[in-house]
Structure 1
C-alpha cells in the first residue's frame, strides 16, 4: 500500500488509508446506527479491503443476513449520501442491493452489479444485499 496508513478505526486490527479513516468518522457521525468494518485480508481476491481503501456497512443485520425493510432503507440513505459526498470523501464506487455506482460513470447512475468476477451477485453477501460496500480512490 502506498502512502501513510493509520490503524483501522473499525477495530479489525488492520490498517487503512487516512482517507478511509476520515470516511468512517464522517459516516458514523451521519449514520450513528451503522456498523462499519474496513480492513480485512481477503486472500485470493482483488479487493480494496486489504489495501485499506474499502468498508462494508450494515444497519443491525449480520453479514449473510438479508436486512429488514427499515435496514434496507437506511442502506439506501447511506448509499445516496456516499454518492452525494463522493468528491469530498474520495469515494470511487458504492455497491448496494446488486447495484453499483462509480464516480467515473456518474452519468450512468446505478447499474446492475455482476459480482466483478469474484462474487456471486445472487447471494446476499456477493450481491451486496446485506451490506453497503464503499471503495475509495486513495
Structure 2
C-alpha cells in the first residue's frame, strides 16, 4: 500500500506551464506589434482601395536592367513626363527622387528591342457620364486627352477623328466612331520610331486615371484600364493582321464611354 505522501509526490505537476503559455502569447503579440510598427508605412503605401476593389503592391513599376523598381502613380507620371520632354529638348521637371535607371529604361526601352518597360494598374471609373461629339469630332474627354498630349509632346501627326465624326475606315466596334479614339502615327516603322512610340504609350498609361483612358494599343501590345494588374498583353489583331491593324505604325488610345444619364 502506497502512503498518501508518496501518492502526492507521484502526481505530475504543471506549475511551470501555468506561466509559460501566457508568456509565449505575449512574446508573439509583441513580435507582431513590432513588425506592424516597422512595416506599417510600407503596408499602408502598398494596400489601397479604389473603385470598390482592394489593390496590393505598387501602382506602377519599371523593369530595369537591375530588376523591378516600384513607383507610385505620381512618380510614374513625373518620370514619363520628364522623359517625353527631354526627348523634345524641352525643360524637364525635377526627378532627383527617382532612380536614374528608371528614367534611362523609359527613354531607351529594353536593351535588346524596343518595347514596354512600364506597368501601371488599371482602374476604370464607372461613374462617368456618356458624352457627345464636340466640333473637333472628339468627345470632351478625348479632346482633353489630345490637349494634354500636345502640351507634353507638341504637335503630332494624329488621325482617327474628324469634324463631324468618322463613320468608316475602322473595325465595326471601333471607338473612333463615337469620337473616343485617337491615333498617333510613328511612320515609317523603324527602331527609333518604335522607341518614340513607346515613350508616348507609357506616358499614356501613367496618366490613364487622370485622363479616363480605356485602351492603349501599340506595336502588337495592348494595355487595358479594365485589367487591375496593368500589364501589357499581346494584341490579337484582326485579319489580315497587317502593320496598320497590328498598330505597329501608330499608337491607338481611347477614353471610357461613360454611362447615359
TM-score under structure 1 length normalisation: 0.80
Residue 4 of structure 1 pairs with residue 123 of structure 2: no
Give yes or no for contact 2:131–2:140 (8 Å, CA) kept in 1: no
What per-residue deviation string (whole Å, max 9, x for no partner) do you get for residues 46-95 of structure 1?
10001000011013x2xxxx422221111000100000000111100100
Give yes or no for contact 2:160–2:181 (8 Å, CA) kept in 1: yes
Larger Rg: 2
Gaps in structure 2 of 5+ consecutive residues? 1-129
Alignment of 1:98-137 (within 5 A): 98-115=220-237, 119-120=238-239, 122-137=241-256
Alignment of 1:29-108 (within 5 A): 29-32=151-154, 34-39=156-161, 40-42=166-168, 45-59=172-186, 61=187, 66-108=188-230
Give yes or no for contact 2:159–2:182 (8 Å, CA) kept in 1: yes
Give yes or no for contact 1:97–1:127 (8 Å, CA) kept in 2: yes
Alignment of 1:12-23 (within 5 A): 15-23=137-145
Q: Could you say which structure has the greater relative contact order, defined with CA pairs below 8 angstroms and 6 or more residues apart?
A: 1
Q: Evaluate the alpha carbon distance shift between residue 32 and residue 106 of structure 1 in structure 2; reply closer, same or farther with a 3 A threshold.
A: farther
| Higher helix proportion (structure 1 or 2) | 2
**Structure 1 stretches (4+) deviating beyond 4 angstroms?**
none
TM-score under structure 2 length normalisation: 0.44
Gaps in structure 1 of 5+ consecutive residues? 9-14
RMSD: 1.9
Q: Distance in 2 between matches of 1:121 and 1:112?
A: 17
